[in-house]
């Protein structure tokens, strides 16, 4: 419904739009402009938290070529860009989902197989390069590494670490190479 209350409308004004939810339902997500530049048409999307028992699949079909200035809940000015996602899951998988419903969309901008990853919380800068502390025989050893894609949660390691190396998470500024460290397991 475009106009829900009583009012006079000019001749030819639309009063309702009819859509085909079964075949034409799309998801529109607002991305920060700094994230939107990494998204391209065709990127796969995981649609979650929509109320169903499993995630749905989709793909990006459009990224708007312009941004909109908005203010966050904290009053920070942000540039947002809309991206439109089409479902690739069959319509019977998302029965009950409709216009204006809340979903969470995760756009896959990079993926790889047989890659080594490290938690981003282990990374820091040292001598102009990325580095981690590795535990070797109870001591912290500085390792300069090269990383690939980094999503802020984890990063691909392209060189400098091997599978099975134990890294120190959230290293303090007081930690230095050769210091004794003890492993602490957090469940």
Domain boundaries, the chain: 24-107, 110-187
Between vectors from CA 35 to CA 112 and to CA 121, what angle results, nearest 5°?
65
Sign, CA torsion 176/181/183/187:
negative
pTM of the entire predicted model: 0.70
Residues 71/40/124/172 CA torsion (nearest 10 deg): 50
- Give mean pLDDT, residues 104-117: 93
4-45 confidence digits (pLDDT tens): 778 888 888 887 777 777 778 999 999 999 999 999 999 999
| pLDDT at residue 129 tops 60 | yes
- Strand intervals (E) in 64-176: 68-71, 77-87, 104-107, 116-119, 124-126, 129-136, 139-150, 154-159
133-184 confidence digits (pLDDT tens): 999 999 999 999 999 999 889 999 999 999 999 999 999 999 999 999 998 8
Hunting for tokens 């204006």 — which residue is that?
A: 100
The SS3 call for residue 92 is helix
Identify which of 97, 108, 134, 121 has the alpha carbon closest to the alpha carbon of residue 186. Answer: 121
The SS3 call for residue 43 is coil
| pLDDT at residue 2 tops 80 | no
Please enumerate in sequence order all residues whose Cβ is within 8 A of that of 111, keeping only pairs 6 or more positions apart, or say none.
none
Q: H or E segment at 36?
A: helix 33-36
57-76 confidence digits (pLDDT tens): 999 999 999 999 999 899 99
| pLDDT at residue 185 tops 90 | no
- The pair of structure tokens assigned to 154 is 């984890």
> Which class is domain 24-107?
mainly beta
Alpha-carbon span 11 to 147, nearest angstrom: 62
State residue 1's pLDDT score: 56
Identify which of 152, 132, 128, 154 has the alpha carbon closest to the alpha carbon of residue 141. Answer: 132
Assigned CATH topology for domain 110-187 = 2.40.420
Alpha-carbon span 30 to 124, nearest angstrom: 30
Alpha-carbon span 173 to 162, nearest angstrom: 24
How far CA 181 is from CA of 41, 93, 139, 157, in Å, comes to 47, 50, 5, 23
- Give mean pLDDT, residues 100-112: 92
């Amino acid at each position: 419904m475009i106009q829900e209350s009583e009012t006079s409308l000019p001749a030819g004004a639309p009063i309702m739009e009819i859509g085909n939810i079964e075949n034409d339902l799309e998801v529109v997500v607002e991305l920060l402009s700094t994230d939107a530049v990494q998204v391209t048409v065709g990127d796969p999307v995981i649609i979650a938290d929509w109320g169903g028992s499993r995630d749905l699949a989709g793909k990006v079909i459009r990224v708007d070529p312009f941004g909109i200035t908005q203010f966050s809940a904290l009053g920070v000015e942000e540039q947002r860009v809309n991206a439109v996602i089409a479902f690739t899951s069959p319509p019977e998988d998302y029965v009950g989902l409709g216009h204006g419903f809340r979903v969470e969309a995760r756009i896959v901008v990079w993926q790889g197989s047989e890659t080594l990853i490290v938690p981003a919380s282990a990374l820091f800068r040292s001598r102009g390069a990325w580095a981690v502390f590795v535990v070797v025989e109870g001591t912290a050893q500085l390792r300069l590494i090269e990383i690939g894609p980094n999503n802020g949660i984890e990063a691909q390691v392209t060189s400098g670490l091997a599978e099975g190396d134990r890294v120190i998470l959230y290293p303090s500024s007081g930690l230095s190479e050769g210091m004794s460290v003890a492993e602490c397991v957090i469940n």
